[in-house]
Amino acid sequence: MPVLVAAVAVVGVLCVLDLLLTFGVIRRLREHTELITRISAPDVPVISLTTGESPSAFSAITMNGTPVTGPAGLRTVAFLSTTCSVCPGRVAPFMQYLIDHRIGKQDVLAVVVGLDDDRPSYTDQLAKVAQVSPARHNDELTKAFKVVGYPAFCLLGTDGAVLATTHDPALLPVPVAV
């Protein structure tokens, strides 16, 4: 009988320890969930320029050889990467945003970042609604906007200052009238 009582006591102590460890793991998982939610929240900018800042002056050449300078004159700039798995799915919503808000091709720059021989299929789609410029990461264009992730969409004011940045074009606000 004393052995049985000792065995039950040992099992009880192990159960209490297991319960304490489980509570600790649950608490830690909640902390991690909050961190992940904060990192992936839609209001976390993917372009490090903040609202009100202006990108530095830049010049680019589009796929058809047309020079583009900015930021003056541009209303929307998109940064997509050939290595980004999310980017192809954001092209159609971006195009729809441009159509819905009647933003003309001359006011839009779509920057496709990748190697010279990389040309994703969506560049032809984008060329219908935007000036498409091939680029490399850390070149003049990506540095001007301080791009830190892809896809990145930026709405500019009439003065060239950033009004909004996001990873999802559906989250861009309605542009101000020009």
The model's pLDDT over 13-47, given as tens digits with 9 standing for 90+, comes to 999 999 999 988 998 888 887 777 666 555 555 56
Looking at residue 116, its pLDDT comes to 62
Confidence of residue 97 (pLDDT cuts 50, 70, 90): very high
Q: What is the mean pLDDT of the chain?
A: 84
Distance separating alpha carbons of residues 14 and 6, to the nearest angstrom = 12
Q: Both tokens of residue 27? A: 């608490």
Q: What residue type is assigned to position 7 of the chain?
A: A
Distance separating alpha carbons of residues 86 and 150, to the nearest angstrom = 8
128 and 167 part of one domain: yes
Of residues 121 and 110, which shows the higher confidence score? 110
Q: How many CB atoms lie within 10 A of CB 104?
A: 11
Indicate the SS3 state at residue 145: helix
19 and 85 part of one domain: no
| Structural domain containing residue 32 | 1-41
Q: Both tokens of residue 168? A: 């999802």
Range scoring the smallest mean pLDDT among 41-45, 81-85, 163-167: 41-45
CA–chain centroid gap for 1, Å, is: 67
Do strands 76-81 and 152-156 pair parallel, antiparallel, or not at all (unpaired)? antiparallel
37 and 70 part of one domain: no
Q: Is residue 177 part of a domain?
A: no
